[in-house]
């Protein structure tokens, strides 16, 4: 599980629910395309993704003494984005409680994984 979980999801509207397509677009061709897509439902695949293997993650946790239950990306149909914050940006976002944790650990900064 630590090397990524994934699964399919299909979302069906509640019976009798008014379709929102006209609120999304007033273009008849676009509305028709949405109606056709609804008639041919395809599952969405969701997954989490880490940039290290479970073994590398375990070694990081043992070395740091801190559990790191975070993932680098969440993918939808195999696609996603990554935003890696600089150490300066991470430092600018620290709250006093987090700074206290760093002080207790004799550390100067969180890693890019927090």
- Using one digit for the tens of pLDDT, what is the confidence trace for 20-38? 999 999 999 999 999 999 8
Q: How many CB atoms lie within 10 A of CB 19?
A: 12
pLDDT band at 52 (very low <50, low <70, confident <90, very high): confident
Judged against a pLDDT cut of 80, whether residue 114 lies above it is answered with no
Question: pLDDT: is 56 or 87 the higher one?
Answer: 56
Q: What's this model's pTM, rounded to 2 decimal places? A: 0.46
DSSP helix/strand/coil, 45: strand
> Using CA atoms, how far apart are residues 111 and 114, in angstroms rounded to an integer?
5
């Amino acid at each position: 599980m630590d090397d990524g979980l994934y699964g399919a999801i299909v979302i069906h509207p509640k019976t009798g629910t008014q379709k929102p397509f006209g609120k999304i677009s007033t273009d008849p061709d676009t509305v028709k395309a949405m109606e056709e897509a609804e008639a041919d439902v395809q599952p969405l695949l969701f997954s989490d993704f880490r940039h290290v293997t479970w073994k590398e993650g375990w070694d990081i946790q043992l070395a740091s003494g801190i559990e790191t239950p975070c993932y680098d990306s969440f993918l939808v149909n195999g696609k996603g984005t990554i935003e890696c914050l600089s150490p300066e940006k991470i430092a600018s976002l620290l709250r006093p409680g987090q700074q206290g944790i760093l002080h207790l650990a004799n550390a100067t900064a969180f890693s890019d994984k927090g």
